[in-house]
Structure 1
Amino acid sequence: MTIKLVPLVLPANVDQEKFADFGKEVKDIHPGNCTADEFNEIEEALYKHDFLLFRDIDLSLEQQLALVKVSAFDPKAENYVHKTDEMGKGIVDAYANKIPRVPQIRLIGHGTVYDHEGIPEITLRHEHHESFHKTRVPIEDEQPKDGSPPATRFFRWHMDSAFYELSPSKATGLYAIQVPQGPAQTVRYDDGSGDELSVTLGATAFASGKIMFDILPKELKSFAVRAWARYAPHPFEWMARAKVISTGLGLESEGLEKPLDTLSSWDEDKVKVYPFVWKNPVTGSLHLQVHPCAISEIHVEPVPENCRSDNETLYPNGGHITDLRKVREIVYQMQRPGIAPNLVYPHPWENKDLVIFNNRGLIHTIVGFFRPDQVRVFHGCSLAGSNEPTGPSKEDILKWVV
């Protein structure tokens, strides 16, 4: 049986040409009851389109885990993407709660939930940007009295990974059990651009690393294929006191990161150093995949011998950038165009939606806020990868260096 794929319904403001290959809804098949051949088709579709949606399905914890792990995505993956004994020292533990029966799946959402999958009672917290941003949307704009949409922000753009010791997950599965209803909200970028984006209540926003790379000017493409990101050891502990900028795309440079010698014990050989650009294993496309909050240094390889370089070439002889403010400025310059309102897909969740996305090809963030009495219940499955992302090939580098 060949799986049936139909285009996603994209918001009217989205650049339809750039999103021509992005996202598909999978019809007439239950992802928990697939044959091996159907799993293979789903895997290929995921890497071709980066985002798959299954609507109106009942899905057990075991079926969700099997889809992310036992299926072709990463059969050798065993563990949750963050180490449990480290979560309480960073910022991830605030919203990801272990489900005892299947600990690789986390309970996420908002509000108080009773008798759920062996958990008698738990209060979930949907992170509000006030808790992590340096500035916030004024309360009068967040709670307008004139009937206009409430204003909000992107929380924190990221990929699912510990970025220390464990490898990024290949695919993440999010299953919506209970989705609260409410008016649309308006994401403000608040960076002087005037950019805004209308989103449904509790949307998850996605941006394509492929599009981010594709729209770079030639000198930044040349830099990207030669650049490597060094991530801080225990990055979520390291950044716990720092504040996020208004777009959610990185941290303020205020010196609030914990000194490395005060972090939990760490080993140099467990520190992650990844290429800026990750190669799609099916399409061969290059995706700009950098965690803007966790990065601490940039290593740049020199332009290969016998390749021309001109006055626009950045770091033609290579370099090592350790000034944290400069590191963040470079990453922001490269990523900010890729989260323009017409290049973001804010998924409008419905009850019983299952979304599987290419965690090595997209960045994503939670959006918006809920009232205290609103309840949102999701199951999230993201497993540490069994291998590392693949960077650009020698041929890719030769193609893009200037």
Structure 2
Amino acid sequence: MHSDSIHISPLEHKFGCKVDLPKYCNNDPINLNDDDFKQLFEAVHKYLVVVIPGLEELAPKSQYLLTKRFDPSIPEPKAEGFAGYGHGKEFRHEQSVLRKDGTTVKSQPQVQILGQGVFEADEPGNENGEQISLTHPSHTSFHKSPLTEDQIKNEHKTRYYRWHIDSALYELSPPMVTTLLGIKVPPLTKTNTISYGDNEDPSKETTKEVAQGATCFVSGAEAFKRLSDEEKEFALNTTIEYAPHPYIFISPAKATADGLTMVSEGKELPFDKLPEWEQSKVKFLPMVWTNPVTKEHHLQIHGCCLFKLHTKLNGETTTLTLEQSREKVHSLMRPAIEPENVLAHGWNQGDLVIFFNRGVWHSVTGEFKGVNQGADEKRLMHQCNIASGADPKTIF
């Protein structure tokens, strides 16, 4: 119900909240006054995932301006087509694992169009004035040991596609927040069973029931709290070195069944086979980031894109290899994705989800019918996240 000020309702989960906008906004959060925006800003940092319903007509420009309002350090675009994140250079590169994950809104290049199915030029949500074809990411092309066709179609099983933080992880700093708008989504009548793939005995397999196509989140703060004292000391003193052009680096490799990292088989592209890169643009980020509002530590790792871990303890620095680094981060991250810790957002049409990208990890889930099949499973979403002006820090 609309009122004269913002209304925040915590979700029945360990984190997350629902926000109702005040009447004066006219269903556009960019119209929030300074006091109400401050409440929204603090809610995003406190609850980590904020859901604002009923915004299917939100304009791409408003979504961009709202996203940008969360981070005053974001630089203004300096060149035509500059998306402020690296979509053009990194994500749409023909070798990138993300190359099929959507297209850009022509009138607002900071906003990406994601989804499933073919949308004609005049369909609602298609801002580009031409036919677009969208493909929902499927673990079947990204995981080393995907589910079988029978498990997917008849048992309605799925996987976490890829647990990640939204970031180019090369040259550009991780965005502060991501906004994700469900413009057209299938009705919440179908469910999927997420298979963790960590046990050969089906009767002992870890699973979680979610709405079809749910976006899943875990709290980096809760992930850090679950670590042992020894693990916390390790995490607080470790820097993650990410690979140059990481989404291209990992393109020949395959992910683990839980989507936390990659399987080490030596299939990554050699550095001399990557597009031109500069050592000064390689990202070295702390393993733990500090929430600027709550001051909590968040374990923030992009397990698929890392290259090495550098740990400085007692005046000595230890560096782990790629394989060792993957094994280590998997051991730190795996407890956080236990079913009870995962917030699975099932999409209603018009949901705008704002999440603190520097405080959560998230993953796509679900399988949809092919782009030329199943009009009942078409989905169209607008996503916006913009590279920050500075890297995250850990404050002890």
If the length of structure 2 is used for normalisation, what is the TM-score?
0.89
Distance change (3 Å), C-alpha of 1:74 and 1:126:
farther
Shift of 1:333: 0.4
Match of 2:61 in 1: 62
The CA distance in 1 between the partners of 2:317 and 2:277, in whole Å, is: 28
Alpha-carbon distance, 1:387 to partner: 1.1
Distance 1:73 1:52 in 2: 17
| Residue number among 368, 382, 388 corresponding to 1:385 in the alignment | 388
Question: Residue 172 of structure 1 contacts residue 358 of structure 1 at CA under 8 Å; is this kept in 2?
Answer: yes
Question: Match for residue 161 of structure 1?
Answer: 167
Q: Does the CA contact (< 8 Å) of 1:74 and 1:170 recur in 2?
A: no
**CA distance in 1 between partners of 2:74 and 2:30 (Å):** 19
* Separation (CA, whole Å) in 1 of partners of 2:116 and 2:332: 33
- In structure 2, C-alpha distance between the alignment counterparts of 1:46 and 1:328, rounded to whole Å: 30
Matched, 1:102 2:111: no
Give SS of 2:67's match: helix
Q: Amino acid of the residue matched to residue 190 of structure 2? A: P
The match for 2:295 is 284
What does residue 249 of structure 2 align with? 238
- 1:310 corresponding residue in structure 2: none
The equivalent position to 1:252 in structure 2, one of 251, 257, 263, is 263
1:92 corresponds to: 98
Query: CA shift at 1:191, angstroms?
Result: 0.9
Residue number among 20, 23, 26 corresponding to 1:27 in the alignment: 20
1:280-331: CA deviations, max 9, x gaps? 0111000000100111111111137xxxxxxxxxxxx43111x211110000
Q: Which residue of 2 aligns with 1:313?
A: none
Identity of aligned residues (%): 34
Q: How far off its partner does 1:32 sit?
A: 3.0
> Does structure 2 conserve the Cα–Cα contact (< 8 Å) formed by 1:81 and 1:160?
no
Structure 2 unpaired stretches of 5+: 78-82
TM-score, with length taken from structure 1: 0.88
- Aligned partners of 1:157 and 1:364 also within 8 Å: yes
**Residue of structure 2 in register with 1:81 after alignment:** 85
Shift in CA distance, 371/9, structure 1 to aligned 2, threshold 3 Å: farther
Measured after TM superposition, the shift of residue 9 of structure 1 is 4.1
Contact kept in structure 2, 1:56 and 1:352, CA below 8 Å: yes
CA distance in 2, matches of 1:74, 1:368: 35
Partner Cα separation in structure 2 for residue 121 and residue 160 of structure 1: 27
Give the 5 Å matches for 1:355-370: 355-370=353-368
Other structure's SS at 2:40 match: helix
| 3-state secondary structure, aligned to 1:111 | strand
Report SS of the residue matched to 1:92: coil
CA separation of 1:378 and 1:224: change in aligned 2, threshold 3 A: same
In the alignment, which residue of structure 2 is the partner of 1:131?
A: 141
Question: Cα distance, 1:35 vs. partner?
Answer: 1.2
SS at match of 2:170: coil
